[in-house]
Structure 1
Amino acid sequence: MKIDLHQPILDKNDRIASENRDLFKEKRVFVLDLLASPGSGKTSTILATIEALRDEFNIAVIEGDIASNVDAERISAQGIAAVQINTGGACHLESDMIRRAVNALDLDSLDLIIVENVGNLVCPTDFDLGEGAKVMILSVPEGDDKPLKYPGVFQVAEAIILNKVDTMSVFNFNEQAFRDAVEQLNPKAPIFPIAATKGQGVDAWADWLRAKIRAMQEA
C-alpha cells in the first residue's frame, strides 16, 4: 500500500493560501514572494527596493530562514517592520507560517509586504503563500546555466532579477545564453539586471513593482 502525504500537505497549504489571498485583497496589500539561492543577494535586493519605494508606500518584510534573525535585524535597522520566521530545518515557507506572521503586522497601514523565502531553488516553488507574485533572484556568480538546472523556479516567477551584474566579466556570465534559456521557459517574465548594493538598475525593477502595488490598490 502506498500512502501519499504530499498531496494532503499541498491541499491544506493551498486552502490557507486562498484565505491569505482574500485577506490581502481586502486590505489592499500587495505581497511579493522572493525566491533565490543562499547568497544571491535577497536581503540586499530588499533593502534597495525599500530605498526606492519607501517614500511612496508603507512596507513590511517577512524573513524566512532556517535559523537566526540576522536579516530581520538589518531590515528593522532601516525603520521597516520585520517579522522573522525560523523554519527549524524546513527548506521553504508555507501559507500557515505567513498567516501567523501577518498577525504581527498592522495590515491596515501597509501597502507592500516583501517575503524573503528560505534560500532554495526547489521546494518554495510548490507552495502558494497567497502572494500577489513570486519573483526569482539569480546572481551572476551562480552561473548562466541555472535555468537549465532549475527550470521550475523560472517557470513560476512573474519576473526575474539578475543581481550582481557588475561582476559579469569576472565570472564570464553569458547574458544572452541566460536570456535565451529564460525565454524558452517563461517568455512573459521580464528580466531586471541590477547590482543591488550599488543601486544599479533598481529603478526599472521598482517601476515594475510599483505598477503591481498600484493595480492592487485600484482593483
Structure 2
Amino acid sequence: YVIEGDQATLHDAERLHGTGCAVVQINTGAGCHLDADMVARGLESLLPSAHSVVMIENVGNLVCPALFDLGEQARVVILSVTEGEDKPLKYPHMFQSAHLVLINKIDLLPYLSFDMDQCLRYVSMVKASAQVLQISAQTGEGLAAWYHWIQQHRLTRPDRKGLSCSVFLD
C-alpha cells in the first residue's frame, strides 16, 4: 500500500498503480508536506489489511516534511547519489529523524564524482547511530537488505497491526 504525496498531478500514483500496488494520491496544492489528517484520510481510502506495510511518500523536499509526525512507525530518507554527498549536512533534521537512510542509484557511481565514504561520514556526523543501506532500484542491488529491514521492523512492532514508513526523497 502506498500513500503518494505531491503538490500536483497523479503521475507517480499512476506509475505505482501500474505495478499492481494499491495507491492513493494526495495533492497538497501549495502545501510543502503531508500532515497526519491527510494520511488518516488516505488510510481510510486504502483500507490496508492487517499486518501489511504502508509506504507514505511525502511531498518531495527535505525541509518541511521532517518537522511533521505522520503517525508512521519508521522514517526512511532516500538520498540519490546524483544529488551529491552533502545532503545530510544541508538537511540535518531530516537525517536526524530517519530510522534508515537509503543511498539510491548506486549503479550510477562509475559515472559520477560522488564520494561514498564522504557521504557516509556526513550521515554519521549528523546522526552517529544512523543505519545506512546502499541500493539500486534499477539493478536491484541492495534491495534484499532493504526488504529484510522492512520485515525486521514489522516483527519488532508486535503492538502494531502492520508497518507504516514515511519515505522522503531528495
Aligned length, in residue pairs: 160
2:103 maps to: 162
- Give 5+ residue unaligned stretches, structure 2: 161-170
* Structure 1 CA distance for aligned equivalents of residues 105 and 158 of structure 2: 32
Quick one: distance in 2 between partners of 1:154 and 1:106? Answer: 30
Equivalent-residue separation in structure 1 for 2:125 and 2:39 (angstroms)? 32
- Structure 1 distance, partners of 2:86, 2:21, is 35
Correspondence for 2:166: none
Identity within the alignment, %? 44
Match of 2:82 in 1: 141
Within the candidate set 44, 66, 73, 2:7 is matched to 66
2:116 counterpart residue number: 175
Equivalent residue, structure 1, for 2:143: 202
Match 2:20 to one of 75, 79, 94 = 79
Aligned mate of 1:106, from 47, 64, 70: 47
- Are 2:107 and 2:139, in contact at CA under 8 Å, matched by a contact in 1? no
Deviation at 1:79, TM superposition (A): 1.6
**1:218 Cα offset (Å):** 6.3
Match of 1:128 among 62, 69, 81: 69
Which amino acid is the alignment partner of residue 184 of structure 1? M
In the TM superposition, residue 110 of structure 1 has moved relative to its aligned partner by 5.2
Query: Which residue of structure 1 aligns with residue 165 of structure 2?
Result: none
Give me the TM-score of the superposition, normalised by structure 2.
Answer: 0.89
Distance in 2 of aligned mates of 1:175 and 1:145: 10
| RMSD, aligned CA | 1.4
1:89 aligns to what? 30
Runs ≥4 residues deviating over 6 A? none
Matches within 5 A, 1:40-55: none
Distance in 2 (alpha carbons) for counterparts of 1:61 and 1:216: 20
Distance 1:91 1:185 in 2: 23
Given candidates 178, 185, 190, the residue that maps to 2:126 is 185
Q: Match for residue 116 of structure 1?
A: 57
Unaligned runs of 5+ in 1: 1-59
SS in 2 for 1:198: coil
Question: What is the SS of the residue equivalent to 1:101?
Answer: helix
1:83 maps to a residue whose letter is V
Normalising by structure 1, we get a TM-score of 0.70
CA distance in 1, matches of 2:76, 2:127: 12
User: Which residues of 2 match residues 29-48 of structure 1 at below 5 A?
Assistant: none
